[in-house]
């Protein structure tokens, strides 16, 4: 069974204090790993897709990286508007539906 574990569960940062969120996964064969951002009461917002170990993607202050067992979401010089829950999800080969298996998320709070 595919599993995704995210750590830490919650993270408080001062504005400008860089850090990383971790996503560890177990999957029969990784088709893709996805990062989403979710604001309270809203649906998840797509950020990145990573397909193979060694791949990296960047968007503004966010950078996602992938190894064979985990992914990191690096946040550089965060701002209060980066406060949200960040969700990691995997998609496995052989899952004909292309369904995503999500972790519980990391709740990020950036303090001014």
Partner 1 sequence: DTGVSQNPRHKITKRGQNVTFRCDPISEHNRLYWYRQTLGQGPEFLTYFQNEAQLEKSRLLSDRFSAERPKGSFSTLEIQRTEQGDSAMYLCASSLQAGNTEAFFGQGTRLTVV
Using CB under 8 A, which residues numbered 55 to 94 contact partner 1?
87, 89, 91
On the 0-12 / 13-18 / 19+ scale of CB atoms within 10 A, 89 is: buried
Check residue 99 for interaction with partner 1 (CB under 8 A): yes
Using CB under 8 A, which residues numbered 30 to 49 contact partner 1?
31-32, 34, 36, 41-46, 49
Q: Which is nearer to partner 1, 79 or 104 (CB)?
A: 104
Cα separation, 112 vs 107, in Å, equals 16
Selected from 54, 60, 94, 98, the binder of partner 1 by CB under 8 A is 98
Of 59, 99, 49, 50, the residue nearest 82 (C-alpha): 59
Selected from 27, 90, 100, 108, the binder of partner 1 by CB under 8 A is 100
| Residues of the chain by 3-state class (helix, strand, coil), percent to 5 | 5, 60, 40
Give the Cβ contact number of residue 90 at 10 Å. Answer: 23
Q: Which positions lie near partner 1, rule CB under 8 A?
A: 4, 31-32, 34, 36, 41-46, 49, 51, 87, 89, 91, 96-105
């Amino acid at each position: 069974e595919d599993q995704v574990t995210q750590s830490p569960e919650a993270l408080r940062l001062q504005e400008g204090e860089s850090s990383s969120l971790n996503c560890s996964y177990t999957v029969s064969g990784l088709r893709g790993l996805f990062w989403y951002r979710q604001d309270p009461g809203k649906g998840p917002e797509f950020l990145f897709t990573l397909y193979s170990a060694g791949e990296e993607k960047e968007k503004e202050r966010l950078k996602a990286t992938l190894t064979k067992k985990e992914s990191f979401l690096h946040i550089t010089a965060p701002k209060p508007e980066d406060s949200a829950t960040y969700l990691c999800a995997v998609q496995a080969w052989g899952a004909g539906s292309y369904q995503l298996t999500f972790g519980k998320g990391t709740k990020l709070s950036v303090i001014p």
